[in-house]
Chains A and B, each alone.
Chain A
Amino acid sequence: MPLDLPKPTEFAVPAFIFFVLLEMVYGWKTGRAKFEGKDSFVSLLMGVGSTVSGAITASIAFVVSYWVWENFAIFDLGHAPWVFALAFVLDDLAYYWIHRVGHRSRWMWAAHVIHHSSQHYNLTTALRQTWTGQFTPAFLFKWPILILGVEPAILFFCVGLNLIYQFWIHTEAIDRMPRWFEAVMNTPSHHRVHHANNPKYLDSNYAGVFIIWDKIFGTYVPEEKEEPCRYGLVRDLGTFNPLRVAFHEWWGIITDMWHAKGVRNKIMFLLAPPGWTPDGSRKTSDMIKAEWRERESRKAQQAEAAAPSPEQAV
């Protein structure tokens, strides 16, 4: 008999609405948070759509997860509080890798891009979620937790808590948290960097709850005052139509695969990083960063050449 645990996100919905309203009023009064009506509507609608699409496929995810756990679990970890704590940490580690691959492989990016498609960064952005996450291999990253022996109900509960944690970090209203907190936990500052499309900040800070994963795996980039975050995609969307927002990257994959020559190129359009093309006519984030580094190095050389030599200075 599966463990019957509450769904944390359903309980959190009224709080989400309250805090979005609070941030709006705070932003209106102080100018420290910005909204736009249509953008907010689309973000929130994507959130509702995500809940609906998740609910439609929830039973499949439930059955498959229990099948894996019942047939392949190495240990019977039970339901003790330490199992919940272990599951929460392991789920966050799995989230880090899902998220990282979600930015580095177009198949998973097609689902995740929705969350990054707003040029605003506020609490509504947190709720701008995918409708198509089930059509990616993301769930495979969670299987090791089930195979270790964590019951799926506990894992689903932790996934809900993880999502709730990530809500409050989508804001410009909070500058920095205390140093010890910034060192261990994901915070608004760290996550602003993740949502920024400045070349310097691309492909960084994938953490869900604990920023330590980025520090361990080399993807941590701190927010710098001299480089204010600019939010959105490297090629922003030109629409507020929720259907086009939800499916634009999937459509891009299908059309690219259709027109691609050879099986290798077709597969690469699905698996390679977003922006990959056989002829390099579009840019991946690595290419954008390389161009940025080149510009920065040129600027530094020019500044050095323009500066007076020590002999001239005296």
Chain B
Amino acid sequence: MDLGLTLGSLLAITILALIAAKLFPVSSGLDEGRVKRNLKRYEPDLEFGKTYVATGGKIALAEIINRPDVIGLTHLLGDRVVCRILTASDIKRVHRGRAKLAIELNDFTQPEISMVFPTDVAADAENLLNSISKPAETAHAA
């Protein structure tokens, strides 16, 4: 292992990543169509109902019509969508702040997801989350 080559490689990859970010900016967030399309790809047998896209367009929750015991979660990672179908056992804890919802998940690659919903859908989004998360697991954020 050559230290010079390793350090040179680190410098080169940083420059390449910066060029990639400049040439390929992430422009679009999540919307209802994108959320449903991706969740359908992820779980084709499920029927998705209402979707709640958090402010910033990076996180969304989705109701599942034919499986009321689970909900859909999508997360925009860079320019790609990461999907999960959450059951009660996937959720460790829910923190509810004034406008913010934070979910701690049993998921090594996304252990915590925070979201702020527009006021007109915040209550509905929280109700959807409540439908699968047990009240005992709820903690109020400071």
| Interface positions of A (Cβ within 8 A of B) | 10, 13, 17, 20-21, 24-25, 27-28, 34-41, 44-45, 47-48, 51-52, 55-56, 119-120, 124, 230, 232, 235-241, 244-245, 248, 251-252, 291, 295
- Residues of chain A within 8 A (CB-CB) of B16 are 17, 20-21, 24, 40-41, 44, 124
Total of A-B residue pairs, C-beta within 8 Å: 112
A119 to B79, CA, bound (A): 9
Q: Which residue of B lies closest to A236 (CB)?
A: B82
A100 to B122, CA, bound (A): 47
Q: Which of A13, A38, A230, A238 contacts B82 (CB 8 A)?
A: A238
- Residues of chain B within 8 A (CB-CB) of A232 are 80
- Residues of chain A within 8 A (CB-CB) of B121 are none
Q: Which residue of A lies closest to B10 (CB)?
A: A48
A130 to B93, CA, bound (A): 32
Min Cβ gap A247→B in Å is 8
Q: Which of A10, A39, A245 contacts B2 (CB 8 A)?
A: A10
B89-142 residues with Cβ-Cβ distance < 8 A to A are 107-110
Do the beta carbons of A44 and B17 come within 8 Å of each other? yes
Q: Which residue of A lies closest to B87 (CB)?
A: A281
Known: A27-B24, A44-B16. A39 touches B1 (CB 8 A): no
| Interface positions of B (Cβ within 8 A of A) | 1-2, 5-6, 9-10, 12-14, 16-24, 26, 41, 44-45, 75, 77-80, 82-84, 107-110
Do the beta carbons of A35 and B9 come within 8 Å of each other? no
Min Cβ gap B44→A in Å is 6
Known: A40-B17, A41-B17. A239 touches B24 (CB 8 A): no
Q: Which of B5, B16, B23 has the most CB of A within 10 A?
A: B16
Instruction: List 24 A–B pairs whose Cβ atoms lie within 8 Å, in order of A's numbering.
Output: A20-B16, A35-B24, A36-B79, A37-B21, A37-B22, A40-B16, A41-B17, A44-B16, A51-B1, A51-B9, A52-B6, A119-B77, A120-B80, A124-B16, A230-B41, A237-B77, A238-B75, A238-B77, A238-B84, A239-B110, A240-B78, A241-B109, A252-B108, A295-B44
Q: Which of A41, A47, A241 has the most CB of B within 10 A?
A: A41
- Residues of chain B within 8 A (CB-CB) of A245 are 109
Known: A36-B26, A48-B10. A248 touches B21 (CB 8 A): no
Known: A41-B17, A295-B44. A240 touches B6 (CB 8 A): no
- Residues of chain B within 8 A (CB-CB) of A238 are 75, 77, 82, 84, 107, 109-110
- Residues of chain A within 8 A (CB-CB) of B24 are 24, 27-28, 34-37
Do the beta carbons of B20 and A36 come within 8 Å of each other? yes
Do the beta carbons of B78 and A38 come within 8 Å of each other? yes
Do the beta carbons of B109 and A248 come within 8 Å of each other? yes
Do the beta carbons of B78 and A44 come within 8 Å of each other? no
Q: Which of A21, A27, A239 contacts B77 (CB 8 A)?
A: A239
A72 to B44, CA, bound (A): 53
- Residues of chain A within 8 A (CB-CB) of B108 are 244, 248, 251-252
Min Cβ gap A297→B in Å is 14
Min Cβ gap B1→A in Å is 3
A232 to B100, CA, bound (A): 30
Q: Which of B18, B84, B109, B110 has the most CB of A within 10 A?
A: B109
- Residues of chain B within 8 A (CB-CB) of A252 are 108
Q: Which residue of A lies closest to B25 (CB)?
A: A37
- Residues of chain B within 8 A (CB-CB) of A55 are 1
Do the beta carbons of B75 and A35 come within 8 Å of each other? no
- Residues of chain B within 8 A (CB-CB) of A291 are 44-45
A63 to B45, CA, bound (A): 53
A55 to B2, CA, bound (A): 9
Q: Which of B19, B21, B23, B83 contacts A236 (CB 8 A)?
A: B83
A295 to B44, CA, bound (A): 9
